[in-house]
């Protein structure tokens, strides 16, 4: 018994289709490898810390899905920004927690932290525009009690200051059985499933290719660059984030099954981007190698 990796073989019945496919593959190889070897890209790659963080979380839990707070710690270690956040475990002291929080003039979003509830807004696991301690207390006590009654796996509550002016995108990746890690970018937030305005690329890619991706979604690039009197967003930070993300999922394709950052908030020019929510799913041991008898 010897461990080997099984690769599906694509069949072509049309010579023109085969030639076109091989041409595109050659173009992708030259583009991606050229970017990988460039000094600028190499200097900006910070995936080593992200790999260590992933392995640490994988050891701590038997679950393949990271919680939002774990996922955001991984993103931060890679160099992808997240909002400042505060975590209260399900058995934590809510009164002490609220006393330590600054509420004067701030608006917060409260979210359940769970490995099993990934789409929290659909299950009442998100509360927006919380301005008073009483609102946070009510959400925490109600949702923690509800999770106890329904046997939901809830670790606690994540509290984050709400982001103001922004454009919401979705950034994600999955492992294609032929091409490996592929990256998705498109219109995000609650409109993702409604409009499905997204585009894909095989990872990794550089900032120039990231900009071409944005240009493939009708109107998006113009919108991001400031349409009419609308503020210009931080395109430099967005393109850098897309490049960093693509190299990270490429480097960690043996560990990561999928990533979904939705929404990815693109802030006004000079203010960067923020991953407001994320779900990271790891590969199981069975997915990492397939054994056949030879």
pLDDT at position 290:
41
Beta strands across the sheet bearing 108-114 = 85-89, 154-161, 108-114, 126-130
Q: Using a cut of 0.95, tell me whether the model's pTM lies above it.
A: no
CA-only gyration radius of the chain, Å? 21
* Cα distance between residue 147 and residue 135, in whole Å: 18
Q: What sign for the dihedral angle of Cα 178, 183, 184, 190? A: positive
Buried b (16+ CB within 10 A) or exposed e, 161-199: eebeebbbbbbbbbbeeeeebbbbbbbbbeebeeeebbe
pLDDT of the chain, 294 residues: tens digit per residue: 555 555 567 788 999 999 988 887 777 667 655 555 554 444 445 556 667 777 777 777 677 899 999 999 999 999 999 999 999 999 999 999 999 999 988 999 999 998 887 677 777 899 999 999 999 999 999 988 887 777 778 899 999 999 989 999 999 999 998 888 999 999 987 666 666 789 999 999 999 999 999 999 988 999 999 888 888 999 999 999 999 999 999 999 999 999 999 999 999 999 999 999 999 999 986 555 443 333
Distances (CA, A) of 249 to 30, 183, 275: 19, 8, 16
* Cα distance between residue 256 and residue 174, in whole Å: 8
Buried b (16+ CB within 10 A) or exposed e, 211-250: eebbeebeebbebbeeeeeeeebbbebbbbbbbbbbbbbb
């Amino acid at each position: 018994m010897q461990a080997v990796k099984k690769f599906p073989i694509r069949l072509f019945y049309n010579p023109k289709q085969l030639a076109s496919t091989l041409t595109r593959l050659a173009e992708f190889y030259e583009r991606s490898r050229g970017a990988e070897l460039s000094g600028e890209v190499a200097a900006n790659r910070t995936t080593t810390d992200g790999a260590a963080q992933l392995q640490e979380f994988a050891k701590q839990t038997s679950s393949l899905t990271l919680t939002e707070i774990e996922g955001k710690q991984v993103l931060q270690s890679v160099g992808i920004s997240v909002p400042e956040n505060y975590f209260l475990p399900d058995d934590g002291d809510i009164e002490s927690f609220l006393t330590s929080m600054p509420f004067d003039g701030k608006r917060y979003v409260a979210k359940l932290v769970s490995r099993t509830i990934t789409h929290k807004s659909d299950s009442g696991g998100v509360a927006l525009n919380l301005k008073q301690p009483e609102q946070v207390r009510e959400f925490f006590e109600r949702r923690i009690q509800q999770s106890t009654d329904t046997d939901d796996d809830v670790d606690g509550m994540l509290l984050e200051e709400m982001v103001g002016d922004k454009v919401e995108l979705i950034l994600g990746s999955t492992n294609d059985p032929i091409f490996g890690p592929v990256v998705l970018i498109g219109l995000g937030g609650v409109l993702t499933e409604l409009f499905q305005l997204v585009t894909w690329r095989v990872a990794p890619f550089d900032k120039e290719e990231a900009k071409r991706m944005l240009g493939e979604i009708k109107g998006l690039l113009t919108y991001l660059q400031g349409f009419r009197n609308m503020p210009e967003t931080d395109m430099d930070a967005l393109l850098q984030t897309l490049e960093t993300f693509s190299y990270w999922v490429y480097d960690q394709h043996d560990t990561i099954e999928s990533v979904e950052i939705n929404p990815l908030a693109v802030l006004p020019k000079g203010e960067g981007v923020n991953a407001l929510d994320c779900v990271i799913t790891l590969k199981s041991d069975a997915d990492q190698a397939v054994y056949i008898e030879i």
